[in-house]
Structure 1
Amino acid sequence: MSIIRRIQNLAVLLTGLLLSAQSMAQGAPAELRVGYQKGTINLTVLKERGLLEQRFKGAAASAATRVTWVEFAAGPQLLEALAVGSIDFGATGDSPPVFAQAAGKNLVYVGYEVPKPDTSAVLVPADSPIKSLEDLKGKKIAMQKGSSAHFLTVQALKRAKLAWSDIQPIYLAPADARAAFERGSVDAWSIWDPYYAAVEESGKVRVLATSRGLSNNNTFYLASSAFAARHGSTLIDVFEELTQAEKYVQNNRVEAVQLLTKAFGLEQKVIERVLARRPLGAVKPINADVLLDQQQVADAFFQLGLIPAAVKVADIVWKPTANDLARR
């Protein structure tokens, strides 16, 4: 065999190996590590019903994708884990990705849920002298830093024509914030469901404002940039399961309430309250309208000096390819 022919054969072999490697990279991952929070309804339904495990179960054990679940107290903690490679995928509210991007974290927006403006609120004790948002001037407001509640507070102050410096933000994780709120260490609490519903159900709070008219309170799904680039079709599969989970919750309310009551360790009436204010909608990749809305969140934090640099949200938005969207 001539040297030229051998070189040609070697080139064909190397090309085949490269294509094979690319195909493997684009296939289902060996493991999918999912971050979730108490209150991420759809992910919790998938976890409790084992639906992702069923979806990714291969014909042989070696072909299956192992699904691992990791719970976090709030979105900022979840995205920190995503950025350092401890998880591959997770869900947060609108603000955590803005803070993560401003800090140079390695992640991308991959999907979103329909807006849920009624599922978060600024609360005060039922007997508080605070009667309006304007009365928050000079007061201590508890919130998770870098969370959707943080942005809700920004917007609430804007409506009241107050500056950020007019209040004392007290940055606490949800459980610690509730404790501080109930013992009177703070004057108000900005929070999301199910924590909002749980304390509301106690009858000891008043709602100063919900997110409605202030923020769309979007839920976003995020992934590491490497995972999104290699496993786009897997993300589309996950979106389909999340959409089916939403339909399950809406169409099987009694069963869903029982499932979530057990999973969250909350009273049934709290879960019923949470689900009553959730609209139905599919989980989809990011579109132009959602991108514009999220850029406004980022701009608001930058203008107040709450993030160190301006960010362009579009720079970290995953765009599925035709191959990602094609059914396998």
Structure 2
Amino acid sequence: MKKGKIIGIIILIIIIIAGFCIYSYNKKEQVKEVSLTYVTAPLNVPSIVEKNEQMFTKEYAKKGIKVKYYDITSGSEQTAALASGNLDFLNAVGGTSAILAASNGVNLKILSVYSRAPQGFVIVTKDKSIKSVKDLKGLKIGGPKGTILNQLLVAALKKNDMNLKDVDYINMGIPEAMAALDNGSIKAALLAGPAALKAEESGAHVICDGKGLISGLIVTAVNENFAKAHPDLVNDFLKVQKQAIDYINQNTDKALEQTSKVVGLTKAQTEKMYSWYNFNPTITQSDITALEKTQDFLINSGMQTNKIDIPSLIYHN
């Protein structure tokens, strides 16, 4: 519970320093620039296509508006920047980060689904004697806490009648977890995307992935005040997102070639990962249920203290 309070305090401090937790948008003022995140990992094909093909740039140029990209990958940093008004849109943020931020007073709305990729989140090991989740009992496992990967570990343990008390879970980033797995200081690592593929190629094997356990849900979000003041610009954002999906479906080889260059994978690796992803932006009841389960995980793990109504987070024009 203390950790949840600390996270809340940190987010609120960042918001206050940035200018106060509610950023003022004036409907009468002409918007000169729209800002959004540019996150390429683990395999964010739409973002890469949108930027390479200048889709957002061309769409907003029709209204004389420039587009500015921000390469911010940390979910907490993204939501803090959104709350302060330094960002208008989050174009790929974890469902965990969006829920945590909203529960701590960040004024955001979820616009659409960015991706679903449960198979893109895995638990891997290099120890051949470890063949199942049950074999992890009492062992050191490394991975980022408060994330989809953390949620995967909890769900996998629960399915095998275990919990986090049955393992030695160490909080570390994905690159650090990979390094720790290589040098033997941990027995298993929580990895996602290219890191998971590279770990397999270096001798690791997958104990389990997120299929049937988590949704792997990534979403897009907007500052609610910005959305209220400029619903037309929100519609333009959603329009471009759908255009990008259509482009990918019609030009898959080209889109994956662009993506492989950006994320540093071979074409074969990119194609393999792409098969794990569902980029349909429409929010379904299943997605809302998945977000509600994510909130339950955050509350039960002590990272979230204030329960919120998930359906009320969804943007409606």
Corresponding residue for residue 68 of structure 2: 68
Q: 1:128 to 1:226 in 2, by over 3 A?
A: farther
Extract unaligned runs of 5+ from structure 2: 1-25
Shift of 1:52: 0.6
Corresponding residue for residue 53 of structure 2: 49
Q: 1:290 to 1:152 in 2, by over 3 A?
A: same
Structure 1 Cα separation of the partners of residues 131 and 262 of structure 2: 35
Structure 2 Cα separation of the partners of residues 100 and 213 of structure 1: 26
Q: Deviations over 1:79-137 (max 9, x none)?
A: 23323333221112222222223333332212114632222212122x34221111222
Of 132-141 and 67-76, more deviation after overlay is shown by: 67-76
Counterpart contact for 1:95–1:297, Cα < 8 Å: yes
1:307 maps to which of 268, 293, 304 = 304
2:291 maps to which of 294, 302, 305 = 294
Shift of 1:220: 0.8
Q: Deviations over 1:25-54 (max 9, x none)?
A: 6x8x42221113223221121112211101
Corresponding residue for residue 158 of structure 1: 158
Corresponding residue for residue 172 of structure 1: 172
Structure 1 Cα separation of the partners of residues 163 and 53 of structure 2: 46
SS in 1 for 2:257: helix
Q: Runs ≥4 in structure 1, deviation > 6 angstroms?
A: none
Of the two, which has the highest radius of gyration?
A: 1
Structure 1 Cα separation of the partners of residues 194 and 87 of structure 2: 23
**How much is the aligned-residue C-alpha RMSD, in angstroms?**
2.3
Counterpart contact for 2:115–2:277, Cα < 8 Å: no
Aligned partner letter, 2:38: Y
Counterpart contact for 1:75–1:147, Cα < 8 Å: no
Q: 1:143 to 1:32 in 2, by over 3 A?
A: farther
Corresponding residue for residue 7 of structure 2: none
SS in 1 for 2:118: coil
Structure 1 Cα separation of the partners of residues 145 and 85 of structure 2: 22
Shift of 1:159: 0.9
Structure 2 Cα separation of the partners of residues 187 and 87 of structure 1: 39
Q: Deviations over 1:185-224 (max 9, x none)?
A: 2222223223323333x25221111111101211211121
Structure 1 Cα separation of the partners of residues 164 and 95 of structure 2: 19
Matches within 5 A, 1:189-204: 189-200=189-200, 202-204=201-203
**Aligned-residue identity in percent:** 22
Structure 2 Cα separation of the partners of residues 278 and 88 of structure 1: 26
Instruction: Calculate the TM-score normalised by the size of structure 2.
Output: 0.82
How many corresponding residue pairs?
289
Corresponding residue for residue 143 of structure 2: 143
Corresponding residue for residue 85 of structure 1: 85
Q: Deviations over 1:248-285 (max 9, x none)?
A: 3333232122211222233333222221222352x23x
Structure 1 Cα separation of the partners of residues 196 and 242 of structure 2: 24
Q: Deviations over 1:215-237 (max 9, x none)?
A: 12112111212122222332222
Counterpart contact for 1:74–1:173, Cα < 8 Å: no
Structure 2 Cα separation of the partners of residues 211 and 162 of structure 1: 17
Matches within 5 A, 1:174-323: 174-200=174-200, 202-279=201-278, 281=280, 283-284=281-282, 286-320=283-317
Shift of 1:68: 1.2
